[in-house]
Amino acid sequence: MYLIAGLGNPGPQYEHTRHNIGLEAVEQWGKSLGVTLRSIFFRSKHALVDFRGKPIVLLCPLTFMNKSGESVRDCIRHYDLETKKLLVIHDDLDMPLGKIKVVKSGGAGGHRGVSSIIHLLGSSEFSRVKIGIGRPRHGEAVADYVLGRFYDDEKKLAEEIMGMAVKASQLFVLEGVEAAMNHINCRRLIT
């Protein structure tokens, strides 16, 4: 069994914001599989689905970003999963929008959701899909930028990059993290 966790914040005020791109990618994958993520266990909305013969949990924590680890930890404990079967999808301020990167493990890189997961799992040995969201263009504070919606000229690219994150997740489940890295990390939707 695999756990695919998309990070974001709950509530309509955070829908379609840069910080929620991981959460929305997981929701997009669920929709393509014909499932709706529901709020029941693990302080999340989630669904247990079969993807080409492999059981996966699609999980979007509803604990707010800084406490994402609580939801992820509870789900891992419930299903007795190994951290190597965990893939976390999240935004990355240090990469431009249109760039995506799959990594096998590593530090939090300043991302509080990832930091929460590392802290509560006691391990950084889980894979991630980092989705670039770029930096503010108009002098906004970083916090306002991250919690803001994409600029009008970025919306189409944001949708495309979420599709790439879904593809990375599919490769992770079907072929492993190295295959996902090899197929995805060389791709970029912008030049």
Q: Give the CATH number, domain containing residue 69.
A: 3.40.50.1470
Give catalytic residues, as residue numbers: 19
Beta strands across the sheet bearing 86-92: 38-39, 44-51, 54-61, 2-6, 86-92, 127-132, 100-103
In a domain, 107, yes or no: yes
In a domain, 155, yes or no: yes
Question: Are the beta carbons of 51 and 91 closer than 8 angstroms?
Answer: no
Query: What is residue 39's predicted lDDT score, i.e. its pLDDT?
Result: 77
Span 46-69, pLDDT tens digits: 999 999 999 999 999 999 999 999
Packing angle of the helix pair 68-79, 112-121 (nearest 10 deg): 40
Query: What is residue 50's predicted lDDT score, i.e. its pLDDT?
Result: 95
In a domain, 37, yes or no: yes
In a domain, 190, yes or no: no
DSSP the chain: -EEEEE----SGGGTTBGGGHHHHHHHHHHHHTT---EE-STTEEEEEEEETTEEEEEEEE-S-GGGHHHHHHHHHHHHT--GGGEEEEEEETTS-TTBEEEESS---TT-HHHHHHHHHHT---SEEEEEE----SSS--HHHHHTSBPPGGGHHHHHHHHHHHHHHHHHHHHH-HHHHHHHHTT-BS--
Return the closest-CA partner of residue 121 out of 101, 102, 105, 103.
Answer: 105
Q: What whole-number distance in Å separates Cα of residue 176 and Cα of residue 39?
A: 28
Span 69-117, pLDDT tens digits: 999 999 999 999 999 999 999 999 999 999 999 999 999 988 999 999 9
Query: What is residue 186's predicted lDDT score, i.e. its pLDDT?
Result: 79
In a domain, 191, yes or no: no
Average pLDDT over residues 12-32: 96
In a domain, 12, yes or no: yes
Query: What is residue 187's predicted lDDT score, i.e. its pLDDT?
Result: 76
The structure's pTM equals 0.96
Question: Are the beta carbons of 96 and 132 closer than 8 angstroms?
Answer: yes
In a domain, 129, yes or no: yes
Span 135-189, pLDDT tens digits: 999 899 999 999 999 999 999 999 999 999 999 999 999 999 999 999 999 776 6
Range of the structural domain that residue 170 is part of? 2-184
pLDDT band at residue 190 under the 50/70/90 scheme: low
- The yes-or-no verdict on residue 191 having pLDDT over 60 is no
Average pLDDT over residues 12-29: 96
Structural domain total, the chain: 1
In a domain, 85, yes or no: yes
Packing angle of the helix pair 155-175, 177-184 (nearest 10 deg): 150
